Amino acid sequence: MLQISKLNAWYGASHALQDISLEVARGEIVCLIGRNGAGKTTTLKSIMGLMDRTRGSVIFKGKELLQQPAHIRFALGLAYVPEERRIVQGLSVRENLRLGLVASAEKKREAELIGEIAMIFPRLAERMDQEAVTMSGGEQQMLAIARAMIAKPDLIMLDEPSEGIMPVLVDEMFELFRSMKAQGTTVLLVEQNVELALDIADRAYVLDQGAVVHQASAQDLLADDEIKERYCSV
């Protein structure tokens, strides 16, 4: 579904990504792991078209997207949940969900899709008319994921979804990811909790200083204490 080849990205003069290559097949959960500053978030932003300067190839469902703006990538079925969530202050949970459909062909099914989201996220169902920013951090993260899911993307990219969230909600969130995979959703995941991420993933890529330094099945990486210690501690 997604094929990245020799992807480079820059922040000003800083060469942040150096020839990143990776693949995500339909229905997979693939993790990007590595220390802070390794280039994981920059990789997701580059795939989504949110970096000013990039070079290489981003092929999604057979189409080259490198020169396409983010809204075109979204319309083609690519979704991104950034680390900072971007919940809109002053809007209710329901209104934030509706924002996920603004540029979607699914907009005419708004009521039906919000109903489906309410079934998947019972915590949000109880808070539909509550101002979204008054919820807990974990509930806001669920809303950010739900807002991306509501437009039925083919691939969803998640950046550090468990950061700053109570353990009980983290467990609930990762059960959701298992359910998404079982229903055929394709996921590219950046996650600080390496063992939890690898436990639900099919494969993983290890990044260090803007480059892929290792790739393997998730189970092989779970068993490799040296790789985890060397590249995955914060």
pLDDT given at position 22: 97
pLDDT given at position 229: 80
User: Residue 194 corresponds to which tokens in the numbers above?
Assistant: 């390496």
| Alpha carbons 124 and 113: distance in angstroms, whole number | 13
Over range 51-72, report the average pLDDT: 95
pLDDT over 90 at 100, yes or no: no
Per residue in 139-166, pLDDT tens? 999 899 999 989 889 999 999 998 878 8
**Helix/strand/coil for 222:** helix
pLDDT over 80 at 85, yes or no: no
Domain boundaries, the chain: 1-77+153-234, 85-152
**Helix/strand/coil for 203:** strand
Residue pair 96/81 in contact by the 8 Å Cβ criterion: no
What global pTM score does this model have? 0.91
Percent of the chain at pLDDT above 90? 64
pLDDT given at position 234: 53
In this structure, CATH architecture of domain 1-77+153-234 = 3-Layer(aba) Sandwich (3.40)
pLDDT tier at 94 (50, 70, 90 boundaries)?
very high
Q: Which residues contact 139 (CB under 8 A, 6 or more apart)?
A: 123, 124, 127, 169
